Amino acid sequence: MSNVFYMPPVTLMGPNAIQSLGAELASKELKKALIVTDSVLVEVGLVSKLTDELKAHNLDFVIYDGVQPNPTEKNIEDGLALLAESKADFVISFGGGSSHDTAKGIALVAANGGHIRDYSKGVHLSKKPQLPLVTVNTTAGTASEMTVFAIITNQEDETKYPVVDKHFTPIIAVNDSELMVAMPTFLTATTGMDALTHAVEAYVSTAATPITDASAIKAIELIVNNLEAVVNNGQDREARDAMQYGEYLAGMAFSNASLGYVHSMAHQLGGVYNLSHGLCNAILLAEVSRFNAKQVPERFVDIAKAMGVDVSGMTQEQAVNAALEAIDALSEKVGTKQRLADLGVTEDKLAFMAQNALNDACSLTNPRQANLAEIVNIFKARM
């Protein structure tokens, strides 16, 4: 069986990497960018790091700052309208996963037509490359700056769905750890746990390969060794830099091996309750892993080792339990070990969310297939 591996052709990484972006863009004969971001990043002046670099290389731009957490179909439609009005010829996302996912939707639909929902009924459905996309990342979590995934919310029916398309891969990704130094503590924690979830789910995925395995295990090591430090001290440059490499490696893993039930279920919590995606992943990760470990226990032994657990002398079952305990312990240390009920989740919505989770594309590669009652029970265990 052959495999395909997707990632950006160019990624600029490390402190002040954004200062190399202008020269890269100038060589590509691009003229005007639609910058896709949120109003907070504009207000705090962070977007000026990008616009100053564009100005220095005589590149024009217009800013769409309407992106919201759990980005919606309307965000994409509004961005498309400004793209057409401004006659921009490429798109730059600036921010975290919400900005990147919105920009991907804009760039893909601009080139291929239709509605973003049209591209969610399978994988790699677009016929043409999207409008040139550049992604500038400001969080160490989603890895959306380099993946073939975008997660979009349909507010009309309270669903959140993934779009998986090879044309989402940007022409340039930028991971500048200096842009992450000012990230708020809780956002640092939730995005970090999101990255850990990517690595764990990719490692146990039915589509895993030696390349994704290597990326996932190294990502787990980097995240576990640095997340608590950067939550405790956001100015820790060394830990910030390590986290951006960890989240990128996790992205390399899941963009090619896909994910599982943690993400399928978290998507529904985001669609119905508009909850933080990373927080939902953190809450669900150990419980879904408990379910999956019955199918692939040896994989969770490897995860325990990557998390720094000394498994020598342990039985396989003990090592698996140690991995689950390590996941929950890290979540508690960084403040994301919470209960769904405390976040407003009610039991009357569990069956609805469970059914939608089973229909989510991420469920296809979960190592152990579940029925509706089993998904509901996983939700209940974290209520």
How many contiguous H segments (helices) and E segments (strands) does the chain have?
14, 8
Task: With both helix axes pointing from N to C terminus, report the angle between 297-306 and 185-204 in degrees, rounded to the nearest 10.
Answer: 140
Distance (Å, whole) CA 258 – CA 205: 7
Distance (Å, whole) CA 133 – CA 317: 46
248: amino acid identity, one letter: Y
Q: What CATH number does the domain located at 185-381 have?
A: 1.20.1090.10
Global pTM exceeds 0.85: yes
CB 172 within 8 A of CB 134: yes
CB 242 within 8 A of CB 225: yes
Domain boundaries, the chain: 10-179, 185-381
Per-residue pLDDT of the chain (383 residues; tens, 9 = 90+): 778 899 999 999 999 999 999 999 988 989 999 999 999 999 999 999 999 999 999 999 999 999 998 899 999 999 999 999 999 999 999 999 999 999 999 999 999 999 999 999 888 999 999 999 999 999 998 999 999 999 999 888 878 888 999 999 999 999 999 999 989 999 999 999 999 999 999 999 999 999 999 999 999 999 999 999 999 999 999 999 999 999 999 999 999 999 999 999 999 999 999 999 999 999 999 999 999 999 999 999 999 999 999 999 999 999 999 999 999 999 999 999 999 999 999 999 999 999 999 999 999 999 999 999 999 999 999 99
CATH of 10-179, one of 3.40.50.1970, 3.20.20.240, 3.40.1050.10, 3.30.70.20: 3.40.50.1970
Distance (Å, whole) CA 152 – CA 160: 6
